[in-house]
Amino acid sequence: DRKSFDISNIYNKKHFIIQKDNSLITFKYRKIQSKGFNLVFLLENNILKNYYFNYLEKINPYIAKDFKNIKENHSFEIYKLLRIDFNVLINCHSVQEVIEKSLNTKINFNLNKFDIHLALSFAISLNFIAKNEQNKLYKFVLENNKLIYDYIDFINNNFANEHFIKIKYKRKKYKIINIASFLLYHKLKPQKESYQNEFLEIYILINDYIKLSYETNNLINLNINSINRITNEHNVLTIELEKKQIPKNKKLKIKEDFINLKLPEEFKLIETHKELYLHGMEQKNCVYTRRREIEDGLSAIYSLNYEGGVYTLEIFKRKNKFAIKEIKAKYNEFANKEVINFVEKSLKAV
Q: What average pLDDT score do residues 12-32 get?
A: 56
Q: What average pLDDT score do residues 195-213 get?
A: 80
Structure confidence by residue, pLDDT tens digits, 104-127: 999 999 999 998 888 989 999 999
pLDDT value of residue 192:
54
Choose the weakest-confidence range: 66-70, 259-263, 291-295. 66-70
Instruction: Transcribe 305-349 into DSSP letters.
Output: EETTEEEEEEEEEETTEEEEEEEE-GGGPBPPHHHHHHHHHHHHT
- One-letter amino acid for residue 221 of the chain: N
Q: What is the pTM of this model?
A: 0.65
pLDDT value of residue 82:
66
Q: What average pLDDT score do residues 187-200 get?
A: 66
- How does residue 96 score in pLDDT terms, banded at 50, 70 and 90? very high
